[in-house]
Chain A
Amino acid sequence: MIHVFNRVSKIFAALFMVFMTVGGSFAQDGEALFKSNCARCHYASDKKLVGPGLAGVRSRWSSEDNLHAWIVNSTDYLKTGDSYATDLFEKFNKSVMPGFPNLKKEEVTAILDYIDKAGAAPAGGGSDSTAVAGGGAGAQGGDSGNTLMYVLIVVILILSVLIYALYKISVSLTELVKQREGDGSTDDRTFLDKAEDCFRASKKWAGENKAIVGVAIFVGLCFVLKLAWDGLMGIGVYQGYQPHQPIKFSHAKHAGELKIACEYCHTGVKESRHATIPSSSTCMNCHKAVSEGPLYGKNEIAKIYASIGFDPNKGAYIDNYNNQDKEQVLAVYEEWLGGDNDAFRAVEQYVQKPIDWVQIHKLPDHAYFNHAQHYRVGGVECQTCHGKVEEMEEVKQFAPLTMGWCINCHRETKVKFEENPYYDKLHDYLAERYKKGDQFTVARIGGLECGKCHY
């Protein structure tokens, strides 16, 4: 009985093995294996990443065995002196492909099968297949005010034309009636005479209804004075300032959707008075691989490339970029953007130039503010002063940044003494002097002193 059981189990095991090795089950495994082992450096299409695009890789190699040997251990394979492998190694700046000794032969075959299948499909690597509609919500919001104004102007124009036409018609009709009645005496008063009559009549009416006129003037005055007051108080206050930036960088995409921390790009916030604007090299940490975005395609990312000197056609930096011939460099980006089109002209101005981001938050020169002090010592969230930037397509100044606003916050915010090495000494001193549980605002430890910010 046991013997039979063993035999049956053996048959099952054998069947299982056959199923694993021969069956088409590796087709989807190939994809998973490709993604976990190869996708970091290779696209399945003909697009370059760190290494070459793998579409048609089988046909490029002399034999499948050689290709297998190369994949499993490229360093050892190079020693055989295969000319194709050596060329490849030279072409990719002698960067070594890590060995994959843990990949079995069938697994490599499955990966290659997957590449054959995926490489034949037109999709270019996948980074551009995630196209999302509906960018620039902020930009559209900014435009809607203008369109409303245009609509209003057009409506007013149409109405005034209508009123003028009606007036003309009524005038000619009265003329006609008068002529019909055989009055003979045409109205030869000029327009000015008529206006004077009208003015006299309204003056007379105003004289008789002083109360109504008085109230109307008072209400109008209040309304307009309020507008004027707000306008005067807004002088020097940038709140709501939302300028277009040279690159349509979407914080909603990067900080919101991709959950990249604010401090990843604005690194200075921990150490310095400035939160710092990231240099193009920080953009390149990701955009070396992502050359087409889901919102604006190639157009915006190409500006970074033009500024820093990255050739997206070759997937490599241009040597000694700032001293290169400008015509040659321009040709690179013209090729990438598909000719002398609008996108290319927008990119042209950033070739070999820094990107001139528009400053939004501006404190007057006579006020000192330090990001590191607020971020590290105060533990203030970025959003407290900058609003929900991670939801903004286009950054807008959230806070008024007036002195009253600063002072208010210093009056209301409790100092975080706990586990805060910055305040170790001060905390001990205050703890000795005051009762426990007494809350300290920033104002009570000198946060309102003039010299703290103005010196």
Chain B
Amino acid sequence: MKKNYIQIARKGALLIGAAVVVASCSQKDPQSPGFEYMPDMYRSVGYDAYQANPNFANGTTAQNMVDGTMPYQADRSKIYNVLPYPFPNTNEGYEAAGLTLKNPLPYSEANLKQGEVLFQTFCQHCHGAKGMGDGVVGTKNPGLIPPAYNSPQLVSLPEGKIFHSITWGKGMMGAHQYQISKLDRWKLVHYVQSLQKTPAAGGATADSTAKPAADTTAAKKVAMK
């Protein structure tokens, strides 16, 4: 009877020891993801989008497109998105875009609404919810305060120039063509144009009627060159 008891105690001690080992091994360290069950089912054999890749010179799987090519677009309605943008990132390109570029999307309630959603995602943190240049980013970084859409500089900006500015950036604003597709950019243009019509607080709309003419003549001059 006594011997039996000691044997049980010994087995118990052994079990406790094993359990302690397992428990201590699986202790969560925030720097480590922990154990993986069957890593060969976890990890892809092929290269994942963001994986390092020794087969390319720059060591990444994600590569830039080859010059002169464009991505395949299965959805015919979105084929416009992959067509090349003809105006270069120069002052001449900016003026020419302002003169010739027109919005392919109709000014509709649906497009405007989608434009607003896009605006809340991509623009409002700098430009402010209503495009008054009062976004949160600007309040913390004085270098990033954009002009209001209804300010004298921007109130009569043509749609082509708005599109060009989103595409290539302007001043302190970066190029957003890599984040927003072309059709989405045109929806944004619709929404920005609706914000341009916001009455100015200071009543500075007086010169807004005079400006478009001057703007287009300047653009024409450049285009002539």
Total of A-B residue pairs, C-beta within 8 Å: 179
What residue in chain B is nearest A210 (Cβ atoms)?
Answer: B5
Q: Taking the complex as formed, is B54 at the interface, i.e. its CB lies under 8 A from any CB of chain A?
A: no
Q: From residue B17, how far is it (CB to closest CB) to chain A in Å?
A: 9
Selected from B30, B91, B204, the residue in CB contact (under 8 A) with A243 is B30
Interface residues of A in 276-319 (CB under 8 A from B): 277, 279, 281-282, 284-286, 288-290, 294
What residue in chain B is nearest A237 (Cβ atoms)?
Answer: B34
- Kindly list chain A residues whose C-beta atoms are within 8 Å of the C-beta of B30: 142, 145, 240-243, 396
- Kindly list chain A residues whose C-beta atoms are within 8 Å of the C-beta of B124: 259
Q: Taking the complex as formed, is B225 at the interface, i.e. its CB lies under 8 A from any CB of chain A?
A: no
B143 touches A238 (CB 8 A): no
- A residues sitting closer than 8 Å to B (CB atoms) are 35-36, 39-41, 43, 49-50, 94-96, 98, 100, 102, 125-127, 130, 142, 145, 206-207, 210, 213, 217, 220-221, 224-225, 227-228, 230-232, 234-238, 240-244, 257-261, 263-264, 267, 274, 277, 279, 281-282, 284-286, 288-290, 294, 322, 353-354, 356-357, 359, 362, 364-366, 396
What residue in chain B is nearest A397 (Cβ atoms)?
Answer: B33
Instruction: Tell whether A228 pairs with B22 under 8 Å between CB atoms, given A258-B137, A289-B141.
Output: yes
What residue in chain A is nearest B95 (Cβ atoms)?
Answer: A96
Selected from A36, A96, A127, A353, the residue in CB contact (under 8 A) with B91 is A96
Selected from B18, B169, B171, the residue in CB contact (under 8 A) with A40 is B171
Instruction: Tell whether A95 pairs with B144 under 8 Å between CB atoms, given A236-B42, A261-B122.
Output: no
A259 touches B42 (CB 8 A): no
B142 touches A39 (CB 8 A): yes
- Kindly list chain B residues whose C-beta atoms are within 8 Å of the C-beta of A356: 52
- Kindly list chain A residues whose C-beta atoms are within 8 Å of the C-beta of B122: 261, 263-264
Cα A153 to Cα B25 in complex, Å, equals 18
B41 touches A364 (CB 8 A): yes
A290 touches B59 (CB 8 A): no
What residue in chain B is nearest A365 (Cβ atoms)?
Answer: B44
Cα A264 to Cα B179 in complex, Å, equals 7
Cα A173 to Cα B50 in complex, Å, equals 70
What residue in chain A is nearest B123 (Cβ atoms)?
Answer: A264
Cα A259 to Cα B140 in complex, Å, equals 12
Cα A220 to Cα B35 in complex, Å, equals 25
Q: From residue B37, how far is it (CB to closest CB) to chain A in Å?
A: 4
- Kindly list chain B residues whose C-beta atoms are within 8 Å of the C-beta of A40: 143, 145-147, 171-172
- Kindly list chain B residues whose C-beta atoms are within 8 Å of the C-beta of A396: 30
- Kindly list chain B residues whose C-beta atoms are within 8 Å of the C-beta of A281: 174-175, 178
Given contacts A217-B12, A282-B174, 14 further A-B contacts (CB under 8 A): A35-B142, A39-B142, A49-B172, A100-B153, A102-B207, A130-B141, A224-B20, A224-B23, A228-B20, A242-B30, A263-B121, A264-B122, A289-B172, A290-B144
Q: From residue A35, how far is it (CB to closest CB) to chain B in Å?
A: 7
Q: Mark B49-73, 1 if CB is under 8 A from A, else 0.
A: 1101000001110000000000000
What residue in chain B is nearest A352 (Cβ atoms)?
Answer: B58
Pick the most buried of B91, B126, B142, B172: most chain A CB atoms within 10 A of its CB: B142
Q: Taking the complex as formed, is B7 at the interface, i.e. its CB lies under 8 A from any CB of chain A?
A: no
Selected from A236, A267, A288, the residue in CB contact (under 8 A) with B172 is A288
A36 touches B147 (CB 8 A): yes
Pick the most buried of A221, A240, A289, A354: most chain B CB atoms within 10 A of its CB: A289
What residue in chain B is nearest A94 (Cβ atoms)?
Answer: B91
A261 touches B121 (CB 8 A): yes
- Kindly list chain A residues whose C-beta atoms are within 8 Å of the C-beta of B175: 281, 285
Q: Taking the complex as formed, is B209 at the interface, i.e. its CB lies under 8 A from any CB of chain A?
A: no
Cα A42 to Cα B145 in complex, Å, equals 11
